Structure formats: structure tokens, C-alpha cells
Structure 1
Amino acid sequence: MTERADSDAGSSTAPQAMRGLALAWLLVVALLLGHNAYLWLVQRVSPDTDILALLPSSRHDDAMQQAFAHMVDSAQQKVVVLVGERDWSKAVQAASAYEAVIGKQPSLLQAMTGDAAQLQGAWLSTFDQSRLMLLTQEQRDKLRNDSPQQWSQLALSAMYGVFGSGGPKLGAWQDDPFGLFGGWVQARAQETPVRPRDGRLFVESGGRSYVLLLLNLQPSAFSISAQEQVIPLLDQATQAAQQSVPDAEVLTAGVILHAAAGSRQAGSEMATIGAGSLIGIVLLMWLTFRSLKPIALIALSIAIGCLGALSVSWLLFGRLHLLTLVFGASLVGIAQDYAIYFLCARLGTNRHMDSRQLLRRLLPGLGLMLLAAVIGYLGMALTPFPGLRQMAVFSVLGLLFAWLTVILWFPALIHADSLRSTALADRYSRSIVKWPQFRFNRIGFVLLAVFTVFVVAGLMRLKVSDDIRALQKTPQHLLDDQIKLGKLLDTPTPAQFYLVRGESAEIVLQREEQLKRQLQTVIDKKLIGGVQAVSNWVPSQQQQHADHDLIVDKLLAPQGALAAIATAIDESGQWQQDLRQRLLAQSKPLLPDAFIASPAGQPWRHLWLGKTGDRYASIVAVRGLGDYRQLQVLADVAPKIDGVQWVDKVADISSVLSYYRQYMTWALLAAYATIFVLLSLRYRRAAWRAIAPPLLATLATLALFGVTGQPLQLFHVLACLLLLGLGVDYGIFLQEPTERHRRSAWLTVGLSAISALLSFGLLALSSSPPLHAFGLTMLIGMALVWLASPCFAGLQPYSHDAS
């Protein structure tokens, strides 16, 4: 009597405890929703997009990151337009029509305009007090080699209007009698083909005159709402220009054009691939359960998994990288198996068994599935890469939250009569008994030998590609416009440049000058057109004082050119002295900070980093790089000068992808080994049957890539990790003890595999190379895992209780 009372009390206590845990989990989920709302709506957090942040902290270089940010920011909010025609007046007419349309939306785009004479005056005033400190290399050579009489004749020719001083006349003759400043200004102008004309900037090429329009983008280039307004505005402006002048050519370049193209592509694919995937999964669940409740529950568990992973990961790391969110959410997709496993088991279990009793039967398998996935992902957490650690923690947390949702809520939400089996589901689940079983007999060994030959042959031909350029797909017309515009304007590439560092601004400028001397041979060979550097405009103090002394010694000394001029025009010694003092008043050293803050320095501010930490840094940009195969020649120059580093952003990002691919490959191998050991503790000698499907499918997929010439990338390896997680679940499902349980497990495998094919495999249709690579791997791999899993189902009855 007492024993029965204790039993009744225990049986009534268990549901109460489950209800208490379910309510507690509801409170946790509410907190997760609140925290996510606070992050996204109040704090308005945004994921990190700097791919170099994925590198180990020991490899971080703050100055390099700042340098690249300067180069990118200088271009990110700008739109550059060239309006060209063979007739200059028509080019101006078309440009005016273009500007008229842009001017109607100043909140989106603003043209950089101003009075040309006023701008030139403000620009020249920057150097007024420093004219005697500035020389070109050609002028230095002439000063050293030519006699004072030659210089006096040059100055007299300029005085009498026979312009022979080597540069434009800027101000009164007395301010620049030898034309040194005019020549220096002319040399600076050679750094760009852009010239002023009729109050506008223009460039000529191929018989056409192009009016240059510089537009400042007001909203962010990556704002989708801004893209939806700016792109049509630019199209309208182009149409207006071509309607005004039918033969006008309009070239446009800007980050927002590429961002908008990517957004349009992603939106189109989401509307097609995403909709197709969703419709397919809904139809699948309806045909299986004749109810939409299962898909709602599956989505609920995955959503809670993602919310929990995001909240806790953000608390742990302070911020998350965009790749963590994208691929972490994909890896959390494995959590669908927990929900599908419970639903199919409920469908195939006697209705007299309570859902809580069913959970107790399924709990060992569910726990093993979670543990196997956690072990697999924790291998990434042991790597030195912050991004992989974030992905690992995010994925593990997501799986844990989804798993707890299934354990704590599903028994209460799914009752014995909640689901009805359909004829289609019954026919499919019974089909497992007709599936061939792999055995170590003659046929088995032949199949294994053929498979081994195929895999070895394929893997031997498999190539690797980590080049970031292979992962980009920009519309050809945008690339054509950008390339042509870049050649016309001779703009430097923001992806490759020199980073110059030193203990002071003066040392940085001196090292820039050394670098330019080393690069002169490269320029002479026409490998590059030239360089952009702050030292072009602000020489080092050492160079400025040397130039000053050279001018004074050769031109202003008692026996110099100035004295020869006074003698030639019969002027007094006082006149000579007054003019000498007037010129010496232009001897104030020019400093980089003052130049950068001036109107003349505005176009070059992105080149001067100033003080970064305890050192100073600057950028030397390369112009006219036509053949990217010559990048190594430029890289070889940097080690010759202390404090100079060659930066190739494309190569840096590619190296990050390479490191991640290598570490992910090792993490994948370690995950297979660790999970096999774990499965051996439960399934003993049959453990290999649980892990064989994903392993064989992964090897076959990679071999197929090798045979077809598809290079291996990081995104293929990430997909292989997802294949492992899903495939091991299928192997565990099918090691069930009885045929009835195995039928429901086979239904679980089918639903999960088809859902994964619809969710991930359809990404193979994407035109985005990373998504295509990920989706293609999942499409082939998941199909093979699905087909191979029943071939390795458990052959001998296995007791969960005994284990």
C-alpha cells in the first residue's frame, strides 16, 4: 500500500517538475527576446565586417587597419562621374543636365562645387610662406649644374614675358623670379591628368573631353533604403545627360553601385530560392503530418536556438563578426534534427505512451546527438582564430538552446493524438526494409575498392583556391566603367599601397622620400605611373632645409643669379637686398599637420595617418598599376627601407581565408576522430556504422570536385562540417533496437535530409560564389548521406537500457 502511494506520488511529481521547468524555460526565452530587442532596437548594434579581425590578436596591426580604413573611407561616400563628348561645349551641356537632376535631391547626393579662382587662391595660399623650401628633383639638378648666369637669363626672360622659367606664372614676378614655385606647382599637377577649364574640371582621352563631377553621398553607401533612392537618381541623371546630348558618354563609379548590385542580387535570390525552399518544406511537412504545427515547432526550436546563441555570444565577446552570424546560424540548422526526431518518434509510437515517457526513451539518443555536435564544434574553439572561436561558441549555444526547447516544451506541446500518420509517410518509413545493407563480403569489398579508387583519384586532382577575387561577382558593366574611369583619372588602387611608419612625423617623411627614390626605377620601367604621397607636397624638414640652402647658395648669394639680374637691369644694391629679403620671407618650413588641415591638403588627408599609438604613419599610394602580376616587384622594394611595409589587402584577405580553410579542415578531421570515440562508448563495434554515411559522403563530394575541376574553398569545408553534424545524427537515428523504431528513424532521416536539401542545397542555384560553393557541397553531400544512411543501419538489436 505504501509502495503504491509512493509510486503515485512520484508519478504526479514528475509532470509537475516538467511543468515547472517548462515555465522556467518560458521565462528564459522571454529574457532572450528582451535582450535581442535591446541589442538591435535600442543599442542598434551592427556586426563586425572587417575580415582581418578574424585573425589572431598577435597578427592584428592597428596601423594597417587604420590605413586601409583611410583608403576605403576616402572613396566609400563618393560617386565619381565622367560626362564625355567630342565637342567640349556639348560635354559641358550634358554635364549640366546631369547636375540639374542631382541637384534636386541634396539630401542624397551633393556635388563638390565652388568658384575655381577662389579655390585656386585658397590652395596656393597654403604654400605662400614656404615657397623657398620647395623644389622638384629636376630643379635641384639644374641648380647644382647650371651657372648663376643661366638662371639670371631665365629670370630675365620671365620678366620680359618670354616665358622660359619652366612653370606657370603665379603672382608677381618678384614673388617667384626664377619660376621655382611655378615649376614645383606644375610638377604637382602632373600627379593627375585632371585639369581646370571654364570653371570645371576635365580630362581628355581618345578625342573626347570628359567633365569630371565629384558627388558626395550623404547616407551610408550600404544603406539599402539609400541604395533604392540613389541608384534611380543616378539613372535619371544619366538619361537626362544623354537626352540633352545623345552622343554623350557617362561613366559612373562608386561603392554604392557595387553595394546596390549585391543587394539586388541577394534580394532576387531570397525571393526565388528562399521562397522555393520555404514552400517545399511546408509542403513536405503537410504531406507527412497533415498539419503545419510540426513546422511551426521546428522553426520555434531553431529560432530560440539562434536567439540564445546571439544573446549569450554577444555578452561573452562584446561583438560578433558577420561571418559568425551567417555560418553560425547555418550550423545551428542541425538543431532541426532534435525536433524532427521527437515528432517522428511520436508519430511511430503507441498512442498509449505519454509524450513524457517517450522523451525518456529518446533522451539517450538526443543527448548523444547533442554531445557529438558539441564535441565537433568545440574543435574550432581550440584554434587561435577569434572568428572560429566565435562560430564554435555560437553554434554550441544555439544547439543547446534548441535542444532544451525540444526537451522542455515538446512533451507538453505534442500529445499522442496531436499527429496523424499519412499514407505517404507510412510507405516511405517501411521502405527501409528494402534498402540494401553493406556487409563485408565479396560485393562489399568490390564496392569499397571502386569507391576507394574514385576517392583517391579525385582527391589527387583536387585543387585549392583561397583568392578572394574568386568569391566576388560584380556586374560586368560596373567593372567596365570602373576600369575605364580609373585609367582616365589615373587613380590609385585602395587595395595595394605602402605603409610607412616612424618614431616622428619627420622620420616618416624621410622614409617616404627614400621609398620614392627606390621606386623611381620601377616608374622608369613603366610598371607604375607614379605614387601619391604627402612628401610630394610636404618634403621632410631635412629636405626642405637642404633645398632652401641650395636656393640661397646658387641664386641669392652675393655672387649669385640675383646679383647678375641686378647688374643686367642696372638696379641698385638696395633693390637686390629688398628682393632678397622678400624671397627669404618665404622660408617658413611647411609641416604635414598644417598642410593636411589646409584646402590644398584635403584631397590627400587619407594618406596621412598621423600618430597611431606611439608612432607616426602614412600611406604611399601607387598610381597607374596596369599589370597586377608585377605586384611582387613592388613588394620587394619595401624590405629595403626601415619602417616601410607593402600592404596588399587582396592577398591579406585571401591569406585569412587560407588560414581558416586549413584550420577548419583540421578541426573537421579532429571532430570525426572525437565523435567516433564517443560513439564507440555507446555502440561498441557498430560505431563505424553511425559515422560512415557522413564520412563517405564527404569524401565522395570532395573527390567529385576534384574530378570536375572545382577548387576547394573555405565554404566547401564549412559545408562539410554541417554534413558531419547532420550525417552523424542520421547514423544515430538508424542504430535503433527494433524495426518499428527504425522505421520512424528512417522517416526522421528523410524529413531532415529533404529539409536540409531545400534549406541549404538550393543555395547551389545562387549566383554568389560563396553561397554557390556552400550550397553545391550541401546538395551533393546531403543527397549522398541520405542515400547511404540506411545501408549502414544497425543490423543487430541494440538495447538502450543495457547501455
Structure 2
Amino acid sequence: MEAKRGVRLISALIWLAVMALAACYLALTLPQKQLSSNILELLPSEGEAQISSSYADTQKDRLIFLIKSDEKQAEDFFTRLSKEKFFSQVRGKVPQAEQDEFARFWFQYRLAFVPESVIKLMKTGDRYVRSIQSMLYSPYGAPRADEMKRDPLLLARRSAVGNAGDLPSFHDGWIVIRHEGVEYRLVSAELKSPLSYDELSDAVKTLTSLCQASEAANPGMRVLMTGIPLFSASAADSTRKDIAFLGSISVAALIVFLFIAFRSLKPLFLCLISVACGVAGGLSVSLLVFSELHAVTLVMCLSLIGIATDYTTYYAAARMRAPVGESAWNTLAQLRPSLLHALLTTSITYGCILISPLPVLRQLAVFAVCGLICSCITVFVWQPFFLQNFRGRPSFVETITAKYFGLFEKSSKTALILLAVLIVFCAVGLYQVKADDSLTNLQSLNTELLKTQKEVEKISGQDFSSPRLLVKAKDDEALLVQLEKLRAQTANESGAAELRSMLPPLNSVSRQNETEALAQALYPKLEAFYQEVGLKGVEKPHYEKLTLKGFLSSAVGSGYKDLYLRKDGYSYFVLPMPKDKAFEEKLKELNIDYSKFDRRKDMETVLQVYREDLLYILLFTFALIVLTFAFKFGLAAVLGAGVSLMLSAAAGIAALGFANMSLNIFSLLALILILGIGIDYQVFFRQLSAYRKESYFALFVAAVSTILSLGILVFCSTSAVSNFGLVLSVGVLTAFLTAPIGRNK
């Protein structure tokens, strides 16, 4: 006996050390971990979708400011932005030195920027020479003598003029956008990456205050700010509030209910310890497995609160009415098979989610399985010490529970009536429910931020959410050839203005070689002309070639850098897709290797496919649970359990119809968990015959505690979590109500 007591004490101390280690790990690492909140990051990226994801990654830390103000006000705002430590780069007014470098680079590689119209003119020979002559005698901006000496064909001037419509408009060093007679100065900034949730939240608050203070101090000044970080911070703030508020409400409701049920604080205290250990263990393992966690994962994991309390509830209920003289360890020994079976089935249901391609579901599975195991171990090694002398006082909850289950003891009509009501409920609800995989049904974006983004898009002429054109080539040179075709095709198309503005002015090296040959052929004619007019010292032109990588690394091409990707042996360039449907036919005629991607719509298609795949996971989980149940209780018991599980799943989906919500992948995820929780109720209802009345009471307390923790998710601001919580809470309630159906008398 003493040896057993020593082993039990050592086990308890070892588990205490493990939990203390987990708590220390969380305290050290959790503040440093990044909390993802972009709903698109819930989704997998494969194939060319991975390319679009890589492009999206280049935009996730960028903020855009449009400033309507005078020169001094804009400079003051830009200076204050540049001093913020959370930025890695702020670009606004271009310093004079950088402008000079821009001009030097353009002149040095002028051959690379010669537009198609100038090349065509060069091919005419004498007409090009005459155009130079007319420029020389033009009263408007005639070239200087030193310019003609260094660049006799005036290719730098021709290139600048020919590309003027497609290059940013500069005014006093600022990129200026004119809209409806108003000038806006453009400032772009890159946040340091990665920023923790707190750092991102503080950065957004600081910037919002800066914009508001600048507008208040300068009447007439207006600052528009948009970017993915703003939406991420808004979603993360909303999630944190949900976790704090809904978690507090859930815990408070559980505290009140458990105290009413047991009329003692001890089970309540033990439930909180069990949940705390489950959360610490699940979160620690999740942080070890995943580089970052998604906010939606944490909110959905609130469901663990109700499930983790079940083990303590069953044990405390059994100890309430245990025979005098029976030790807490003996009671636990009788409960252990049922508790382990319940842990196994619930872990199986969560474990099946691991094969899901969605990262957020895999995170949830790891968190839940590890958390439930830790909660169960806590019950086994710690709680017998606390429940040795526990004797609960009679509670009206026991009376209500006994009366409800007593109805099934007296007559089978109760079961038939319940079945009829549930079938009608399911039929009406299922008739109304519809499947919809739209991302707007998963997460609602901040309306004020959306309004500002739409205004910035209108002013800048760019649609940040429009589909994208992904041009693909085997190498950079082939990619430039493809882009040349696009530049020529869109030269006179008004509907492709946004695309044309994003095309780099760079020619392919082969085009540069062709242009150089034309220039060398024209030079003798121009040299003779310059001699005639008395211009001496004209240099024979020497041209340098420019590659795509060289262009992107320069001040001239830095703005195009994020549009270029090199991956898996191919070069890609991302461009906005014109809305004209006929444009795609033109691309095919040009023999351009391209693909069209709309990340939002593509992900909605992916969600639909995975929702359909999840149905197979659901069927597999159901079959696995039924097999384990049949192995334990026999085939006869499977029929009643199967009816209960199917009704529970149907009722959960039917609730969506009554709530005017759509069926999506998170609804099916909830169904998988309903199967696991529902089979737990079947196990406890059938196996704990030695504690028949106490098992009724324990089943009721477990169901209500689970529903309290799950039902609160319905009020979450994230639509996907609200959907998940509604299906799960209604399904669990139905699983409890139908637990007595088909049982052996």
C-alpha cells in the first residue's frame, strides 16, 4: 500500500514538473510568436497557387499613404513616418541624389528603354535623321549641345518621352497622382517582418493617431492609409477581444453551473485545473509543431474548455455517491476504462482532421488531441488526492436529470416522440440550408478600412482585389520578350491602362541588340549632319545592355521588384488582369504563356473541393467510431448509437438553415467533433451501470458544460467560428437528448 502511495505521489510530482515546464515555455515564447489573422492564410498553397501566395507575401507588410496637402505638410508627415522604428523602409520624397542617380542610370542604359515607336522610326533611316534635325531647330525644348555630343541619337530623351505615360509622375521629388483636379502625394512603407501581434497592434494605433493628429493640426490636409497590415491588425484585435470576452463568459457560466450542480467549489476548482493543464499542454505542443498559429485556431480551441471538463465531471459525480469506504483510487479504477475509451474516440475524431489540407484544421487537431490527453492525465494523477473525502450534497440538477432519463425507463413512447420532433426539426432545417464556400462567410472585414481602400483604389486607378495575370517564361530573357508583346498589344487599349502602367519599360537583350545595330547604322548620317551645323566633339555612341535582374536592383526598377518571381526554374511576372473578357483571346493569339489567378475565387474553389473531401473524412470517422463501439458493446448497441449520432449531425446542420447560415467546411468539421462527443455520451451511458444515477447526472453536467463552452462561439465576430459553434452546440445537445435511445434495459 505504501509503495503504491509513493508511486502515485511521484507520478503527481512528475506531472507537476511537466506542466510547470510547459507554463515556462509559453511565458517565454508566446509573446514572441506571430499571430496570423488573414483569412486567406487559412488555406493551402499548391502549384501556381503557391506563386500567387508568394506574390501576396510581398504585399502583406506594405502600407500605402495618399496625402492631400501642401509641400511642407507632406514633408513633415513623411519625416515623422520615417522616424518610426517599426518600419524597415519608407519611400516618399525622392532625395535629389537619388533623382540624379536615376537620371545617370537611365542615360547609361538608355538602349534598354527605347520604346517600340522609336525603334520603328529608326528603321526608316532618313526619317529618323530628319526627326533629329527638327528637334534641333524646335523652339520648344531643343536639346543642348553637350547632350547631342554624348548621345547623338538622343535615345535617352526619346526613351523618357516615349515612356512618360507609363512611368510615375514626379513633382518636386514626389510621386504625384492627380484625381478630379486634386493632387495626392504617394508614400509607401514596409513594416519590419515578422512583427508580433502586440507590435503590429501598437504600430497601427501609432499610425492612426499620427494621421488623425496631422489632419487636425493642418486644416485641409487629408491622409488616406490602406494596406493588408491594417486588416490583419483589425482581425487580430477582434479575435483577441473574442477570446477574452467569450472565454470569460464561458468560464463564468461554467463556474456558476458547476457550483449549482455539485453545490461545492471543489469540482469547479478541479475543472479549472484540468482545463488549464489541457490548454498549456496543447498550446505548447502546437507552438513546437507550427511556426505560427492562426487567430481562428485559438478561438475555435475554446471548445476544448467544455470537452476537457467532462473527465472531471464524470469522476466527481461518481465520487459523490461512491460507497462508504471506497477510496478515490478505487473509484478511478472503475472509471478508467470509460474515460480512456472516451479519450480515444474524441482523439480519433480530432486526429482524423490531421489529414485535412487546411493548416488551421491541422493546428486545431494538434492542439485538441494534446490538450485532451493532458486534461485526462491531470484527472488520473492529481484529482484522486483532492476527491478522497468528497461527498456532494443533493442538487436539483440530479432530480431533473433523473426525471428526464426516467421517462425512457417507463415507456418507449418518449423515445418515439423525441425522434418525431427531431426528425421534423431536421427536415425543415435541412430543406433551408445551402452550401456556400464564399470567403465572406468565413470572415467579415472592417467596413471603415474597406471604404478607405476603395477610395485609394479609385484615386490611384488600381484595383488591389482584382484578378491577376501571371506571365510565365523559362528564363528572364524569355519573360521580357513576353512582356514586350504585352506592351505592344496594350499600347492603344484604354481598358488595359492599369496593366500597361505596371509593365516595366525594359526591353529584352535581343531587342537591345537590334536597337544597337540600328543606332550604329544611323550614326554616320547623324555625324555628317552635326559636322554640317558646326557641332564638334560628337562621341561615337557606346551602349551598355541591361538585364532584368540588373534593372530590378536599380533605383529605376525597384518599384517593379515585387512583381517579379523566380521559382522552380521559371520566371514569373504578376500584372493586373484587364476586365475585358476578349483580352484573354488576344493573349492566346500572342502565344503568351500565362495563367489567371484570383486568390479569393481560387480559394473559394479550393474550399469547395476540400469541403467535399471532408465528407469522406466524416464517413471514415463515423465508420471508425462505430467499429470501436461495436467492439466494446456489441452489434446490438450500434443501432441505437448510430441513430443518435446521425440525428445529432443532422440537427447541427439543420440549425444552420434556421439561422440563415450556409454550409461550409467548418460546418463539416463540427460534425466530426459531434461524432466524437456523441459517442462519449453513449459510452458513459451504457458502461457506468454501477453508477447508473450518477452517470445520468454526470452525463447532464458534461453536456451542459460542453454546450456552454461551444454555444458561446455562436457570438464570435468571425463568421467561420460562429458557424462552427452553432453546429457543434446544437449537435451536442441532440447527442445528449438522444443518448438513452436504443439502450439495453
Query: TM-score, length-normalised on structure 2?
Result: 0.86
For residue 445 of structure 2, give the secondary structure of its aligned residue in structure 1.
coil
Matches within 5 A, 1:358-397: 358-381=331-354, 391-392=364-365, 394-397=367-370
Q: 1:52 to 1:439 in 2, by over 3 A?
A: farther
- Tell me the alpha carbon deviations over residues 663-720 of structure 1, each in whole angstroms, 9 at most, x when there is no partner: 3322222222222232223333233333443431220231342465421112212222
Question: 1:712 corresponds to which residue?
Answer: 663
1:520 aligns with 2:490: yes
Residue type matched to 2:172 in 1? D
1:620 aligns with 2:604: no
Q: CA deviation at 1:46?
A: 5.5
Q: Is the 8 A contact 1:54 1:656 kept in 2?
A: no
For residue 526 of structure 1, give the secondary structure of its aligned residue in structure 2.
helix
Q: Is the 8 A contact 2:509 2:545 kept in 1?
A: yes
Q: CA deviation at 1:730?
A: 1.9
- Tell me the alpha carbon deviations over residues 554-588 of structure 1, each in whole angstroms, 9 at most, x when there is no partner: x33x5x5x267448x5459xx5xx64x43x21x21
Q: CA deviation at 1:39?
A: 7.3
Q: Is the 8 A contact 2:66 2:187 kept in 1?
A: yes
Q: Is the 8 A contact 1:324 1:387 kept in 2?
A: yes
Question: 1:466 corresponds to which residue?
Answer: 437
Q: 1:223 to 1:174 in 2, by over 3 A?
A: farther
Residue type matched to 1:548 in 2? E
Q: CA deviation at 1:136?
A: 1.5
Q: Is the 8 A contact 1:693 1:788 kept in 2?
A: yes
Question: 2:696 corresponds to which residue?
Answer: 746
Question: 1:118 corresponds to which residue?
Answer: 97
The CA distance in 1 between the partners of 2:445 and 2:481, in whole Å, is 40
Q: Is the 8 A contact 2:242 2:299 kept in 1?
A: no
Question: 1:785 corresponds to which residue?
Answer: 735
Q: CA deviation at 1:532?
A: 6.1
Tell which deviates more after alignment, 94-103 or 288-297: 94-103
1:599 corresponds, among 555, 559, 568, to: 555
The CA distance in 1 between the partners of 2:585 and 2:313, in whole Å, is 55
Residue type matched to 1:666 in 2? Y
Q: Share of identical aligned residues, percent? A: 23
- Tell me the alpha carbon deviations over residues 235-287 of structure 1, each in whole angstroms, 9 at most, x when there is no partner: 24333324422x43331113332233223323433343222212111111222
The CA distance in 1 between the partners of 2:140 and 2:505, in whole Å, is 25
Q: CA deviation at 1:302?
A: 3.5
Question: 2:201 corresponds to which residue?
Answer: 227
Q: Is the 8 A contact 1:499 1:644 kept in 2?
A: yes
Q: Is the 8 A contact 1:157 1:163 kept in 2?
A: no
The CA distance in 1 between the partners of 2:146 and 2:243, in whole Å, is 62
Q: Is the 8 A contact 1:515 1:641 kept in 2?
A: no
Question: 1:480 corresponds to which residue?
Answer: 451
For residue 735 of structure 1, give the secondary structure of its aligned residue in structure 2.
helix
- Tell me the alpha carbon deviations over residues 331-368 of structure 1, each in whole angstroms, 9 at most, x when there is no partner: 58533322211111112323432222212222232232
1:23 aligns with 2:10: yes
Q: Is the 8 A contact 2:652 2:729 kept in 1?
A: no
Q: Is the 8 A contact 2:278 2:371 kept in 1?
A: yes
1:665 corresponds, among 615, 620, 627, to: 615
Matches within 5 A, 1:119-518: 119-144=98-123, 147-163=124-140, 172-176=147-151, 179-191=154-166, 194-217=168-191, 223-245=197-219, 247-309=220-282, 322=294, 330=303, 334-381=307-354, 391-392=364-365, 394-415=367-388, 417-435=389-407, 452=423, 455=426, 458-459=429-430, 461-491=432-462, 493=464, 496-514=467-485
Query: TM-score, length-normalised on structure 1?
Result: 0.80
Q: Is the 8 A contact 2:306 2:708 kept in 1?
A: no
Residue type matched to 1:153 in 2? R
Q: Is the 8 A contact 2:618 2:672 kept in 1?
A: yes
Q: Is the 8 A contact 2:263 2:395 kept in 1?
A: no
The CA distance in 2 between the partners of 1:222 and 1:732, in whole Å, is 44
Q: CA deviation at 1:79?
A: 2.8
> What are the ranges of 5 or more consecutive residues in structure 2 without an aligned counterpart?
none
Q: Is the 8 A contact 2:175 2:186 kept in 1?
A: yes
Tell which deviates more after alignment, 156-165 or 750-759: 156-165
1:721 aligns with 2:695: no
- Tell me the alpha carbon deviations over residues 488-540 of structure 1, each in whole angstroms, 9 at most, x when there is no partner: 223463784344454433233334434556x639x826166224667x23322
For residue 789 of structure 1, give the secondary structure of its aligned residue in structure 2.
coil
Residue type matched to 2:71 in 1? V
- Tell me the alpha carbon deviations over residues 287-332 of structure 1, each in whole angstroms, 9 at most, x when there is no partner: 22333332332233344344444556677x5757647666567458
2:64 corresponds, among 55, 62, 80, to: 80
Q: CA deviation at 1:474?
A: 2.0
- Tell me the alpha carbon deviations over residues 9-51 of structure 1, each in whole angstroms, 9 at most, x when there is no partner: xxx3xx7336515523542552464366447726956588899
Q: 1:656 to 1:437 in 2, by over 3 A?
A: farther
The CA distance in 1 between the partners of 2:588 and 2:144, in whole Å, is 38
Q: 1:232 to 1:680 in 2, by over 3 A?
A: same
The CA distance in 2 between the partners of 1:730 and 1:480, in whole Å, is 49
The CA distance in 1 between the partners of 2:117 and 2:100, in whole Å, is 26
2:505 corresponds, among 532, 537, 546, to: 537
Question: 2:625 corresponds to which residue?
Answer: 675
Q: 1:547 to 1:28 in 2, by over 3 A?
A: farther
Q: 1:326 to 1:546 in 2, by over 3 A?
A: farther
> What are the ranges of 5 or more consecutive residues in structure 1 without an aligned counterpart?
1-11, 85-89, 797-803
Residue type matched to 1:254 in 2? G
Residue type matched to 1:778 in 2? L
Q: CA deviation at 1:129?
A: 2.6
Q: Is the 8 A contact 1:95 1:241 kept in 2?
A: no
The CA distance in 1 between the partners of 2:417 and 2:146, in whole Å, is 93
Question: 1:703 corresponds to which residue?
Answer: 654
